[in-house]
């Protein structure tokens, strides 16, 4: 999702701007002081703790009197999809059943799927955190396949993290592609693509960017 369909700036906005601002206002301190404090608290819990991914957890932790639904709703307009996303989903959804596989929680996934109504292209949504896994590890992909009632070889996966979107799914026999949007090389690596249009061309042949 992030870095593949949606630009990752939204997450930074919520975690590094909105939360510190709320904290600074509530505790009547300077925003820079709040930012430093909040970053330190994030690090104390750390990304290997499931609570780290939960906005509601942090709102409670910092005693901010607001619910995650309100925050996500207020900033929904800041979600931004990459320019190749809509034409790609339109084209691929004609020949494939599309599924979201994300390490984010369902709340963050939901707000992003509402952008440009891209939700309508996806048959299912799988959130690693929501099934108690921190990363998209092997067990995540195996759970996804068994839930879809398919063999790993029947799944094609694309994502922008070299390890968790490419190496790990390949380990269990999934056909995986590494999306490297920042690459300036012609071909980033074996099974590497620079855009979703490149990916569509691989899968469908012809011009992926015709839509
Ligand atoms: Mg990603």
Assess whether pLDDT exceeds 80 at residue 205.
no
Task: Summarize the confidence of residues 175-191 as an average pLDDT.
Answer: 79
- pLDDT of 211 reads 40
Q: Which of 33-42, 80-89, 181-190 has the lowest mean pLDDT?
A: 181-190
The pLDDT mean for the chain works out to 91
CA angle 185, 191, 193 (to 5 degrees): 45
- pLDDT of 208 reads 44
pLDDT in tens, 144-161: 999 999 999 999 999 999
Across the chain, which distance is largest between two alpha carbons, in Å?
Answer: 59
Domains and CATH numbers, the chain: 9-78 (no CATH), 85-204 (3.40.50.1000)
- pLDDT of 186 reads 57
Task: State the CB neighbour count (10 A cutoff) for residue 83.
Answer: 11
Nearest CA to 106 among 133, 134, 128? 128
Task: Summarize the confidence of residues 108-121 as an average pLDDT.
Answer: 94
State the distance from the centre of ligand 1 to the C-alpha of 9, rounded, in angstroms: 12
State the distance from the centre of ligand 1 to the C-alpha of 83, rounded, in angstroms: 16
Place of tokens 């984010």: 104
State the distance from the centre of ligand 1 to the C-alpha of 160, rounded, in angstroms: 5
Provide, rounded to the nearest whole percent, the portion of the chain with pLDDT above 90: 79
Q: Rounded to 5 degrees, what are φ and ψ at 6?
A: -115, 140
State the distance from the centre of ligand 1 to the C-alpha of 49, rounded, in angstroms: 19
- pLDDT of 45 reads 94
Task: Summarize the confidence of residues 93-120 as an average pLDDT.
Answer: 94
pLDDT in tens, 41-77: 999 999 888 899 889 999 999 999 999 999 999 999 9
Do residues 125 and 100 touch, judged by C-beta distance below 8 A?
yes
Question: Which stretches of 136-210 are DSSP H helices?
Answer: 138-148, 168-171, 196-204
Q: Which of 72-76, 103-107, 176-180 has the lowest mean pLDDT?
A: 103-107
Q: How far apart are the first and last CA of the chain?
A: 21
Assess whether pLDDT exceeds 90 at residue 105.
no
Question: What is the distance between the alpha carbons of residues 160 and 178, in angstroms, rounded to a whole number?
Answer: 6
C-alpha separations of 133 from 20, 51, 136 in Å: 27, 11, 7
Task: Summarize the confidence of residues 201-207 as an average pLDDT.
Answer: 77
- pLDDT of 209 reads 47
Assess whether pLDDT exceeds 70 at residue 27.
yes
State the distance from the centre of ligand 1 to the C-alpha of 79, rounded, in angstroms: 15
């Amino acid at each position: 999702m992030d870095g593949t369909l949606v630009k990752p700036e939204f997450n930074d906005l919520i975690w590094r701007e909105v939360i510190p601002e709320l904290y600074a206002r509530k505790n009547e301190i300077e925003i820079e002081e709040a930012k430093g404090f909040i970053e330190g608290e994030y690090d104390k819990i750390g990304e290997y703790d499931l609570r780290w991914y939960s906005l509601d957890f942090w709102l409670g932790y910092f005693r901010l009197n607001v619910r995650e639904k309100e925050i996500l709703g207020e900033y929904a307009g800041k979600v931004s999809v990459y320019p190749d996303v809509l034409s790609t989903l339109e084209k691929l959804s004609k020949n494939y059943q599309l599924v979201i596989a994300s390490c984010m929680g369902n709340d963050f996934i939901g707000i992003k799927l509402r952008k440009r109504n891209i939700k309508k292209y996806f048959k299912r949504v799988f959130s690693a955190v929501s099934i108690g896994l921190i990363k998209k590890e092997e067990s995540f992909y195996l759970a996804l396949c068994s839930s879809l009632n398919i063999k790993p070889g029947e799944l094609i996966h694309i994502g922008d993290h070299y390890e968790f979107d490419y190496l790990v799914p390949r380990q269990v026999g999934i056909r995986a592609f590494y999306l490297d949007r920042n690459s300036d090389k012609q071909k980033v690596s074996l099974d590497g693509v620079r855009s979703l249009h490149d990916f569509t061309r691989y899968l469908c042949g012809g011009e992926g960017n015709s839509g």
